[in-house]
Amino acid sequence: MKERELAAERMSYEEFLAWCDEDTLAEWVDGEVVMYSPASRRHQEVQKFLLGFLDGYVRSRELGVVLGAPFQMYLEPLKRAREPDVLFIKKENLGRLHDTHLEGPADLVVEVTSEESRLRDYGEKLAEYELGGVGEYWIVDPERGEVRFFQRKGGRFIPVFPDEGVYRSAVVPGLWVRVEWLLSDPPPPALEALRELGVIP
């Protein structure tokens, strides 16, 4: 099987991009291919809500671009290329965006974690995204019923806590989200949340 053959080999990031197609569940870590498991139904539903919600808001304000996995975020100094569940890139940073990957940090990264990915999302990726210059990081953990938010201040991630169940983004102007939207099973329709923000009538 192609994945098993190449997962044990070292390769450059350019070789990885040439090998990895949009159906391959893999990330690139310092020359090695790291395979990961398909997402669960709950994961898919939360990611779908986030993409619809964030994309609808960002488009309405012409703030930049929202993308979802599979799409690579390449942090060259760290020799890491991850596939976050959701990425937001500000309009002024769109020069980093290529057809196959983002060259450098996104302004906002969201990971929807699971038992299989929890150690990576709370550990490795938290450290990588902080060192790599990501502006804001959300970890949504539906199985544990918690969401953690981190904002960059003074070059480091600082945990920020919701105020009465509402979190306000530091990098997406005017954006706020109810934590219950992210933990509901299923999440509400993205249009319903956008209506509460006043994006649509």
Q: Which tens digit of pLDDT belongs to each residue from 9-24? A: 677 777 776 666 665 6
pTM of whole model > 0.75?
yes
Domain co-membership, 117 together with 182? yes
- Domain at 179, CATH number: 3.90.1570.10
Range of the domain at 10: 1-35
Domain co-membership, 66 together with 84? yes
User: From CA 134, how far away is CA 22, in angstroms rounded?
Assistant: 23
Q: Which two tokens stand for residue 92?
A: 């002024």
Which tens digit of pLDDT belongs to each residue from 169-181? 999 999 999 999 9
Which regions of the chain are under pLDDT 50?
1-8
Please give the pLDDT value at position 2: 36
Please give the pLDDT value at position 34: 67
Please give the pLDDT value at position 23: 59
Please give the pLDDT value at position 14: 74
Does residue 51 sit in helix, strand or coil? helix
Neighbours of 177 (CB within 10 A): 24
How far is C-alpha 98 from the geometric centre of its chain's CA atoms?
17
Domain co-membership, 100 together with 137? yes
User: From CA 188, how far away is CA 122, in angstroms rounded?
Assistant: 26
